[in-house]
A and B are shown apart, each in its own frame.
Chain A
């Protein structure tokens, strides 16, 4: 990787990009002398790293600071006074008083000799090589002063090298291997390989997939995958090997095509809630590659296939770049100027409010957009439309987290930072599939599991985490979908009745009356694993073992996902989880906690920013006059004291004829929300649907105004990840549509304000929006762009009490004062399997695709997953006469669709599973409108279904596709 000088690092907290050769260590300070200069470093640091901190780069090939030292290249030899020989500086730890010399005549000769041998088996085609200018082998040849290579193959003799395809007589060289171009994003060229092992070690140590190995031995040693090529292997295309490779052997195809980048901008990935920091490496305004930034505090230099490679959607031909309008949805779209589109939209919205009342329109904010953009969208409805009709897709994912953790702990957020997992001893994963949904966190978790931490997985499906290479003790509780509360409560029952709870913690930190109530409740025999076994399908003995492991295994951390929240009892499960953590004292320090794995890059932020109809920014209820006053003073308007409509209510009201207009930013509710037919009916009943997006998404099929959006590469702003970390998003190129998304919202607001003769908004930069957020929202009081530049990122709360932000929550006490135990009675969902619908469908994600797939489907990621398939247990398949790959009809009480089946014992009998990445599948035609009792979060994770053989797409799919095609027409320019 090129060591770029990051332009704004001088004098700020942002660190340089230099490869220090070996990882940083924690330890007592040790002082030594290197080349006559004194340096103090932590104990355990390598001599190589200590030298690097002095600015002395010891030549190296097999070392890089993302990997533990290996000591194979011998280029980094140094001399140490009082020691014999020339030890490798990467594998030699520092000692107090050590005197090291990194440059002597002897070392120079050794290094030249080593380099000469390396180069004797490497092609000398530097000028035409894709790594020219970004090659460590080239750099090292320069650094050691290599001027001559004496080893040459004899003419006409069999070749003894790996890089020439044929000898001078034209005979094939058996040692030469051709390029492996099977991966869509990078190529493997064995002829350039120096077998330094960095790729193999990166795959093992950093990613944890162990897809690479060294095949053979001695001169025959080659980097190899466990299958015929990269694509067929276990490789998950995270890019760690490409990043680690010092030569052109593993190289991004974009670099092969475009050349090496010349500048780099640090920004934040726009996919999942891990919020990885990346360097966008550029040539002018062209993106050459995305490389994970090693000082990123969420990802620590790692990435996954989505953030690293799947950015091609930003320049995909499907992207719409000019605004479009139409009077009705059966007409083709008409491309118009921004002015015309905005005034068209504003007139419609104002007209609707005049005709149907102030509350007849609303907005949906996006968890994909920045905090600043989200803040403006909710401000638009509250301050300009004069109602609280704002909601967000977090409604359909983590709203129960907000409610559940708010009730028990007092904040609506995860308690830890991602670094915390390095200190966990037992990790409980409930209803989440981190290797696919949150891959970079999964890699960090897997590292800890390889170090010996125990794993407990509560999931209907045998997720990949359970197949982690070199996994130690693991427990899988394969519950029936919909029985989370029963299982988590049974864990609580075991911990309480077996006396495994932490009495001191409870007495000091929790509301003791609530604990006594809870204790009496949970001790009842009806919550025991034996009593609930028939219901949950989890063997009682296994559940007891897992409960004991969590309660007694040291630091216990719980991570959960949408498999917890997207249920009719989603909020109850979140509270049950919070109860478990409190009763075992696993809150308020490193290695423990309760952590929702957020699905989208800015779910946390969009919730923080007041996207919900009942809450102003910072989770403060609109009913509170003192909170309203803050915003009324800032915005200069009077605010509605009544909570507005949630998404499902908006749709119901639309069908009833009282809700008529919607501004939907960066969200595809038609595909992502439950019961597609109902969503379609609601949208069809509205008179003005404004879709603000990169693509003509499914919702746009029912839209009247289309405002083109900007990608995350084209705007300034911030995202807040699952650990409450506010990360900067930086503009690396001009918006292709003309405006950043926050500008579009401002233009729309001003167009409406022009009609209503209000005072226009005048934000000139997202920093000004953040300043307004900080001024109005206590948990963000200390956040501003200068602080973010200095620190790289901060975790809220960031204010006077926590000027540097808050990595760990509830350290000295719960935010709400005393932690509150809440009784969690299991109530079965109304969605039950029966004779007509005997199977339970649950849904999830796959690594290569992301949510509704609007982005990833428009990248090469589709080579890994080109369609959604239905996983079914061999018994259930056999009963239905199904073979692997057959088309099946999947039907529920709501609707039916068709897709292909995959027969696997990953799911239990009675359970089927699919992903929802492809609009053709329309998995949400199947899902019902049952939802969480507290928050309306839809019950995506349980639907009673029947599966039967089929010939192909269902009638609904064909009708839908025809409508979609019709609706996407754009009128030819005149």
Chain B
């Protein structure tokens, strides 16, 4: 989830992209594994990767756009260092998830998809984390938070050195 590499020149980026594409070309249905690997490497799906992906898979720009835009986790712009996801699906809504989200966003001074000025945190909505029985749910990076409330979420954030102001 975090950008692994420092700024690189275009040539080096192109080289990494082509290595990633080649490395997954043998798979059946290789597009999603390639996209995951690219996002893992760069934190985003680089636009520089679009043409080589299309060429390698004999797909068009439109088809690639359709796939990338379908999955919210594939990014065009880099996210903050950490990502907080708050569930907005039905079960969580009925257990106070909406109110929780509103308060957290207000405290962080962010709107959905916003990133803190220090670049430490991005907040995203998510539609079901599979924890309906323990709603409302949230997630900080890869760590799930069940029966989420402000205290539990803020605790998880402070573990990443992110303070939540009042």
Contacts and interface: CB of A to CB of B under 8 A. Distances in A.
Q: Do A and B come from one complex?
A: yes
Interface in A208-253: 209-217, 224-227, 233-234
B61 A234 contact: yes
A471 B62 CA distance: 16
Nearest to A222: B69
A468 interface: yes
B135 to A, nearest CB: 20
A234 B54 CA distance: 13
Contacts of A284: none
A217 B70 contact: yes
Interface string B55-71: 00011111111100110
A751 to B, nearest CB: 57
B80 to A, nearest CB: 22
Nearest to B50: A226
A213 B65 contact: yes
Nearest to B66: A213
A215 B69 contact: yes
Contacts of A470: 58-59
Contacts of A224: 62, 65-66, 69
A469 interface: yes
Interface residues of A, number: 20
Nearest to A212: B62
Contacts of B62: 210-213, 224-226, 233-234
A213 B62 CA distance: 5
A778 to B, nearest CB: 48
A226 B64 CA distance: 8
A480 B131 CA distance: 65
A210 B69 contact: no
Contacts of B59: 210, 469-470
Contacts of A212: 62
B58 A213 contact: no
A214 B64 CA distance: 10
B70 A211 contact: no
A201 to B, nearest CB: 12
Interface in B19-78: 58-66, 69-70
Contacts of B64: 226
Interface residues of B, number: 11
B58 A209 contact: no
Contacts of A226: 60-65
B33 to A, nearest CB: 19
Interface in A160-219: 209-217
Nearest to A203: B62
A761 B58 CA distance: 59
A467 B55 CA distance: 9
A233 B54 CA distance: 14
B66 A215 contact: yes
A212 B62 CA distance: 6
Contacts of B61: 226-227, 233-234
B128 to A, nearest CB: 12
A233 B69 CA distance: 17
A210 B63 contact: yes
A196 to B, nearest CB: 16
A214 B66 CA distance: 5
Contact of A234 (B60, B66, B69): B60
A874 to B, nearest CB: 17
A512 to B, nearest CB: 44
A226 B51 CA distance: 11
B65 A210 contact: no
Nearest to A220: B69
A193 to B, nearest CB: 15
Contacts of A209: 60
A150 B80 CA distance: 42
Contact of A469 (B60, B66, B69): B60
Interface in A449-499: 467-471
A215 B69 CA distance: 6
Interface in A643-677: none
B65 A215 contact: yes
A224 to B, nearest CB: 6
B16 to A, nearest CB: 23
Nearest to B68: A215
Interface string B111-126: 0000000000000000
Contact of B60 (A210, A214, A217): A210
B73 to A, nearest CB: 12
A211 B58 contact: no
Nearest to A471: B58
B65 to A, nearest CB: 5
Nearest to A468: B58
Contacts of A217: 69-70
B63 A469 contact: yes
A216 B65 CA distance: 9
A519 B25 CA distance: 43
A231 to B, nearest CB: 14
A469 B65 contact: no
A964 to B, nearest CB: 41
A470 B62 CA distance: 13
Nearest to A474: B58
B153 to A, nearest CB: 25
Contacts of B69: 215-217, 224
Contacts of A210: 59-60, 62-63
B76 to A, nearest CB: 12
Contacts of A215: 65-66, 69
Contacts of B65: 213, 215, 224, 226
A155 B66 CA distance: 34
Interface string A698-709: 000000000000
A197 B66 CA distance: 12
Nearest to B61: A226
B10 to A, nearest CB: 18
Interface string A520-538: 0000000000000000000
Nearest to A224: B65
A495 to B, nearest CB: 29
A375 to B, nearest CB: 46
B66 to A, nearest CB: 3
A663 B50 CA distance: 56
Nearest to A450: B58
A225 B69 CA distance: 12
A211 B65 CA distance: 10
B60 A211 contact: yes
Interface in B59-113: 59-66, 69-70
Nearest to B70: A217
Given A224-B65, A226-B65, A216 B60 contact: no
Interface centre among A213, A215, A467 (most CB of B within 10 A): A213
B70 A469 contact: no
Contacts of B58: 467-471
Contacts of A469: 58-60, 63
Contacts of A216: 69-70
A225 B63 CA distance: 9
Nearest to A211: B62
A468 B66 CA distance: 18
Nearest to B59: A469
A552 B65 CA distance: 39
Contacts of A227: 61
B48 to A, nearest CB: 16
A839 B19 CA distance: 36
Nearest to B71: A217
B54 to A, nearest CB: 9
A215 B58 CA distance: 19
A198 to B, nearest CB: 15
Nearest to A204: B63
Interface of A: 209-217, 224-227, 233-234, 467-471
Given A226-B61, A226-B65, 7 more contacts: A213-B63, A213-B65, A216-B69, A224-B65, A225-B62, A227-B61, A234-B60
List the 6 closest pairs (A to B, CB-CB), nearest first: A226-B61, A213-B66, A226-B62, A210-B60, A213-B62, A215-B69
8 contacts: A210-B63, A212-B62, A213-B62, A213-B66, A224-B65, A226-B62, A226-B63, A469-B63
